Structure 1
Amino acid sequence: MNIAIFSPNQNPYSETFIQAHKNYLKGNIFYYFGSGSQIQLEGQERLMPLLRYKILRVFAKLFRKPSAYLWQERILYSLKVNNIDAILVEYGNHAHHLLPILKALQKSIVVHFHGYDASHRDVISRCNNYEDVFNVATYIVAVSKVMNDNLLKMGCPKGKLVYNVYGPQPEFHEVHPIFNKKQFIGIGRFTDKKAPYYTILAFNQVLSKHPDATLLMAGDGDLHNMCKNLIRHFKLEKSITLLGIINPKQFRTLLSESLAFVQHSITAENGDMEGTPLAVLEASCAGVPVIATSHAGISDVIVHKKSGLLCDEHDVDAMAENMLCLLDNVNYAKELGLFGKKHIASNFSMERHIKKLDEILLEAIENK
């Protein structure tokens, strides 16, 4: 198969699931990134020969074509010359952006939703509740049961909808934590739905009983400075470290020496929700217990009191109690981690995720 993957951004650090699609899907991958006139094909300087593009510009001017005409024609030309069999569009709102192209093609189209695109009210409204996306797509992929239900409520035909949770990179299964530190680790964008401030507030309670415990928080985002100020306000600079952006190898190293992974995800005011956070899957795959909220896809993959400890959104006290529970009983932390490692390997592996996506793409082509 020749598969075109469309993504709004090139290789963002927080979207390792898209990198997995690029690296593991069967067939020849053509990776298109960017939006509008900025869309490029990775590894190629141009989507269309320069002379052909100049002629097209003259044609567009003479016949007063809309401004989007040129970039859309460039992409259609590129897809044709590369003999694309199927298209995988990352994010529902990006599929909406590409609708004129998708409608012009007689190709198999799979649209992969990830999180905010299926929950953020303004995004959904701007995309007209995805009515046209659902019509043009051969299959729609949801990564959590909550997302699956939301897409059905929006009008996605049940026969087109496929539930397929991410899988962690295989390297995370090779991690064997030693539980030698009173250290918690969290990683993710500092955004409303990640609510990193709640994690800080919960950990602040923990320090009254375990003053030698530490919290590492990796990532960046709009709430980063606010969290830094919160840490300064409570005088927690010696207990909490903001690491900035780290790579997967660094994350695995930190997981190997941590007591638990922590994340207090919530539904934001604008409706924005997680899909199934990949970092949660990675931590559990590594054998580290997960302390988090029963939010979106988290409770799909973390079994409460078996592979982690979950609490309600906004319940800072309960999150603090869950941290204390593992600090007071490291053997219990080891039990949770071991169950989680086996549970993820059996039910949410990268191999399973990619195999399902391969099947969807192949079936889409065969049924076109």
Structure 2
Amino acid sequence: MNILITTIFNYPHEGGLSSHITTLKKGLMTRGHNVDILSFSQLPAFKRKMLAQAPGFLLNKVKQGSGQLFNDRQRQKLLASSINALKKNYDVINAQDIFATLASIESGIPTVQTVHGYYSFEAVSRGALLPDSEEDLIIRELERKAYQSAAKVVTVDQRIKDYINHLAHIEADTIKNFIDVSAFKPEMAKREQTRRDFQIPLHKKMLFVPRRMTEKNGVIYPLLALPEVLENHPETVLVYAGTGEQRSRLEETAASLNISASVLFLGSVPFEKMHNLYEASDIVLIPSVHSHGVEEATSISALEAMSCRSPVIASAIGGLKEILIDGEDGLLVEEKNKEALAQAISLLLKDPEYAAKLASKARCKMESEYSHLSAAERFEKAYVEVLN
């Protein structure tokens, strides 16, 4: 099959969506398909800036949310134009967001939509939209239209499937997030070199937060838990890899708690270097929280850490509860509970054998249940269904 993957977002970029697209393409190509990707970042720079980003920025100055809606709609139009201009004949399109779905459907090519989250709720969560505003309601209606118009809808977890059924009365398929297990595998020999490369002290226990710095990712809570951890384990460093609007808040909080010396911000880290950081870590933290109706899906960061045989502590919400079994292949703690998080961290730091046991079982689970090749096969079947 000739398959086109579309999105109005930038690709590649920091975050799970980009990882999903990269890994899905790899799996589909391994199965013998031709796969291309069309994203907003591949469009001409002057069109991106002058027709979408700049006007959207200015409109937001007038009314919060209006620029976001304008920007998304303009991205849809630009993407639709590019799809129609493509000379190559595609059998099927796999759109990765509602606006890419609406743009792809215009081409007349059968379109499968993969839904990674709650589009309007997530825009509210990151401050791009005001809840229940005119723009928020319009985007919810566009969500419904996209789900109902696609030839097939695929979700990455059961909660999102239920949400779509409630919103659009559509029965979606669920294909959980996945990873290339062969790419994220334990290579402990590189541990010391990775720490040197990123200037992470070799003698300290490393707590790693591989998250975009947004409210729903709960990135503030490891910082709030750190003082208690440092009381019992003073040789500990908290390392963040990611960017986002919460960065300044984290830096200010670290300074106010007088723990800046024990916190390291790496900024954006290339995808191909992330597995080295997982392996260099003593514990990986996925502290996601409910935010304006949004909760974590099947976190790719958690899957990557587990595949690298890194002990994982995560919030007991959403898709994280579908990945981890508390006390068997990781630890789950109550969201926003800094005391519970600190206690879980201290437990694993005190008992490295227990931590290693959890991590080993997690790796076995990744190999048996979350392979990108088996996910690619399921997507292939979805494409065949819409073609038939």
TM-score (ref. length: structure 1) = 0.82
**Which residues in structure 2 correspond to 1:36-185 (within 5 Å)?**
39=43, 71=78, 74-75=81-82, 77-79=84-86, 81-96=87-102, 98=103, 102=105, 104-117=106-119, 119-120=121-122, 125-128=138-141, 130-158=143-171, 161-177=172-188, 182-185=205-208
**Does the CA contact (< 8 Å) of 2:217 and 2:287 recur in 1?**
yes
Residue 150 of structure 1, CA deviation: 1.3
Alignment equivalent of 2:367, drawn from 345, 363, 366: 345
CA contact (8 A) 2:76 2:99 kept: no
Shift of 1:338: 0.3
Measure the CA separation in 1 of the matches of 2:322 and 2:283. Answer: 18
> Structure 1 residues 72 and 346, CA, compared in 2 at 3 Å: closer, same or farther?
closer
> Where does residue 280 of structure 1 map in the other structure?
302
Q: Distance in 2 between matches of 1:16 and 1:124?
A: 30
Bigger shift: residues 140-149 or 214-223? 140-149
* Aligned mates of 2:84, 2:382 — CA distance in 1: 25
* 1:1-368 mapped onto 2 (5 Å cutoff): 1-8=1-8, 9-14=10-15, 15-26=18-29, 27-34=33-40, 39=43, 71=78, 74-75=81-82, 77-79=84-86, 81-96=87-102, 98=103, 102=105, 104-117=106-119, 119-120=121-122, 125-128=138-141, 130-158=143-171, 161-177=172-188, 182-268=205-291, 270-365=292-387, 367=388
> What CA deviation, in whole Å up to 9, does each residue of 1:147-193 have, x standing for no partner?
122112112422xx111112123344421458985221111110010
CA distance in 2, matches of 1:245, 1:92: 26
Secondary structure (helix, strand or coil) at the match of 1:271 reads coil
Residue 22 of structure 1: how far off its partner (Å): 3.2
Deviates more, 1:178-187 or 1:188-197: 178-187
Q: 2:116 is matched by which residue type in structure 1? A: H
- Counterpart of 1:11, as a letter, is P
Partner SS for 1:25 = helix
DSSP-derived class of the 1:3 partner? strand
TM-score (norm 2): 0.78
Shift of 1:112: 0.8
* Letter of the structure 2 residue corresponding to residue 226 of structure 1: R
Aligned residues of 1:90 and 1:112 also touching (Cα < 8 A): yes
Deviation at 1:318, TM superposition (A): 0.8
In the comparison of the two structures, how many residue pairs are matched?
331
1:119–1:273 contact (8 Å) kept in structure 2: no
Give the counterpart letter for 1:12 in structure 2.
H
Gaps of 5+ in 2: 45-73, 125-130, 192-202
Query: Unaligned 5+ residue runs, structure 1?
Result: 41-66
Offset of residue 261 of structure 1: 0.5
Name the amino acid aligned to 2:97: Y
Deviations along 1:257-279, one digit per CA (max 9) or x if unpaired, are 322110210111x3233322211
- Of the structure 1 ranges 111-120 and 2-11, higher mean CA displacement relative to structure 2 is found in 111-120
Q: How far has the Cα of 1:230 moved from its partner?
A: 1.0
Q: CA RMSD in A?
A: 2.7
> For residues 184-234 of structure 1, what are the alpha-carbon distances to aligned partners after superposition, in whole Å with 9 as ceiling and x for unaligned?
111111001012111111122111111112211111100011101111111
In 2, are the aligned partners of 1:141 and 1:162 still within 8 Å (CA)?
Answer: yes
Are the aligned partners of 2:148 and 2:168 in contact in 1 as well (CA < 8 Å)? no
* Structure with more of its chain in helix, by fraction: 2
Q: Is the 8 A contact 1:134 1:156 kept in 2?
A: no
Instruction: Classify 1:281/1:88 alpha carbon distance in 2 versus 1 (closer, same or farther; 3 Å).
Output: same
